[in-house]
Structure 1
Amino acid sequence: MYNNTTIVTLQLCLLLRTGVQKHVAVGRMCSILEEAYKGVQFPQHILDAYIHFESLTDHSYDFNCIRCGHYPPIIILDANRKSSFSLQGESIREPDTHIENAAQMDKFWKQVTDNIVASPMCSKDILNPYKVDVQYQNWSQWMAPDSVFPSGVVNTEHKKVPFTKNPNDENPTVLTDEYIDTLLCEGSAKLVKDIAKDVGVDSSGSKMDIIVRLQHKAKKKSLFKKIFTKLWGRSGGILVMACPHGICYGIKHLIRAESVRDHIDMILSMKHQPTIVINDLSNISAAHGNNRKKNMFAPHKGRVVDSSIENLNLLERKQLDRDMPCFNSFHQKYHVEPL
């Protein structure tokens, strides 16, 4: 019985679970059943009922990629902006300076599960005691338990927020590199141009030209807040970390727009850093990672070879050759040609 109104059988829940495991959405499965059994119509909250069933199930996460194991040598990170939810910055308290960088993953996700279990038992007049507030100090990504440190995962999303001692203080402050990374990651060309027009910055040229101008021009906190309000009206979506075979090793619901900080947080949470990290901002990720951990991406700042004039000329002539034995050791495993 769900919500004291709907009876959901075990067979239906197991059928919906099989569909999810085969990449068929719950809504589509219900449409198939409604088409197959004329007269059957599922209520709108059937998805909530199914999620409630899964929350009551004692799941064990002990599987991993049969090729990569618990410590994949290659990791791919990318964000899905379509999975964002409405989120206004004013609803989130400014983080305290003493927030720990380590997040308690198990504690956070247990609270999420308890919230789902308790929700149908709470009416409009009864507050859910397990409600999860979107705040920096109690937020955590989920990662494969056997792949991360038992002490907790790394989450420094609160450091995206520029701390202010006095909200009325208008002393000049340089627009942070973190925010520029955010514009690079999430802002479309049209959005960046609109932001530039709103704050009185020249909007001609390429997206990168405009961002450079914003970096040089936006030096007052009032202007910074105006840009940020324009950009941030929703959460940052979902950041997923997976191996080349599509097995998920981590997922993070972003409070703010995606940044390389989130990527590095996920990597630093792993017991063993992957040999190869693939994302769409590799140069910025390498620079940020090396600032957080000495020689995190080394040598050559994460590049295959040094970015010297000689190597660039060889690359342009397609004559650049690099012996990489680490690839040769598992090229058969990934069905690629050795280098």
Structure 2
Amino acid sequence: MLRSFLQSHTAVERVCKALSISNGVVYPSKTVLCAYLHFEALTVHDYQFSCLKCGFHPSVVIMDAHRKAAFSMPVSEIEEPPANFDGQVDVEAFWNSLRLEIIARGLVETGNPNPFAVKPSYHLWAPWIGPNTRKSGSVLNTEWEKVHSSNPNPASEVPVTEERLIDELMSLKVAAVRQLCASCGLDNKGSKMDLIMRLRSEMQNRSSSIFQKPT
């Protein structure tokens, strides 16, 4: 039933609410969702997707359908790929590893680590493309090309001065400076110069090692 509702674009939480109203029993949506995912991971699926117009190879993918499957994660927490990584990822191996993680969630006692947990990485993260749509089991992960290695130079060699940062702040619009003040926990009321002076004072108080006084 949950699968049918999801296929008709109805979220699990809404289904649980409807069942609770109908049966007078509280169904915790998070627990039900975990159980449903466990059920699907144990199910053998036959992926035979085919577009009515394009067949197995649709030329256009609507981004909105994928947006809810995305998540936010700091880049600093993602392991950089090996030096010889060319972007090729085994799609079957990756999705099988996710399947094992979901199955293990229903078997591991609460509070214990999941031995099959999959940590996001550039070299082990693949989009799902059906077997009839892709050319082979190897797909491209192009996100790794956006990786910028950390600067190997020590902070004392970085040519960043306090004055240079102030100049950059002066070129920003007032709204952007206000937002920056708010994100730093500072008062964001007043003129643009007032805001910049508060930011400058905050930088001086923190005495960050990346700022250098010009010689």
CA distance in 1, matches of 2:158, 2:77: 25
Q: Is the 8 A contact 1:103 1:140 kept in 2?
A: yes
Q: Is the 8 A contact 2:51 2:57 kept in 1?
A: no
The alignment partner of 2:60 has SS state of strand
User: Greater strand share, 1 or 2?
Assistant: 1
Match of 1:203 among 148, 166, 172: 172
> C-alpha root-mean-square deviation of aligned residues, in Å?
3.0
Q: Does 1:148 align with 2:134?
A: yes
- Cα 1:145–1:67 change in 2 (3 A) is same
Aligned length: 167
C-alpha displacement at 1:164, in angstroms?
4.5
Deviations 1:262-314 (A, max 9, x none): xxxxxxxxxxxxxxxxxxxxxxxxxxxxxxxxxxxxxxxxxxxxxxxxxxxxx
Unmatched 5+ residue regions in structure 2?
A: 160-164, 177-215
- Report 1:240-279 matches (<5 A): none
CA distance in 2, matches of 1:120, 1:199: 52
Structure with larger Rg: 2
- Report 1:1-339 matches (<5 A): 15-37=1-23, 39-44=24-29, 45-72=31-58, 74-78=59-63, 83-124=69-110, 126-164=112-150, 166=152, 168=154, 200=169, 202-204=171-173
Percent of aligned positions that are identical? 32
Structure 1 ranges of 4+ moved more than 2 A: 76-86, 93-97, 123-127, 167-172, 196-201
C-alpha displacement at 1:63, in angstroms?
2.5
- Other-structure match for 1:282: none
CA distance in 2, matches of 1:49, 1:129: 19
CA distance in 2, matches of 1:143, 1:75: 13
The TM-score, its normalising length taken from structure 2, stands at 0.66
Larger RCO: 1 or 2 (CA < 8 Å, sep 6+): 1
Unmatched 5+ residue regions in structure 1?
A: 1-14, 173-195, 208-339
- Other-structure match for 1:229: none
Q: Is the 8 A contact 1:70 1:146 kept in 2?
A: yes
C-alpha displacement at 1:53, in angstroms?
0.7
The TM-score, its normalising length taken from structure 1, stands at 0.44
CA distance in 2, matches of 1:52, 1:133: 19
The alignment partner of 2:63 has SS state of strand
Deviations 1:242-270 (A, max 9, x none): xxxxxxxxxxxxxxxxxxxxxxxxxxxxx
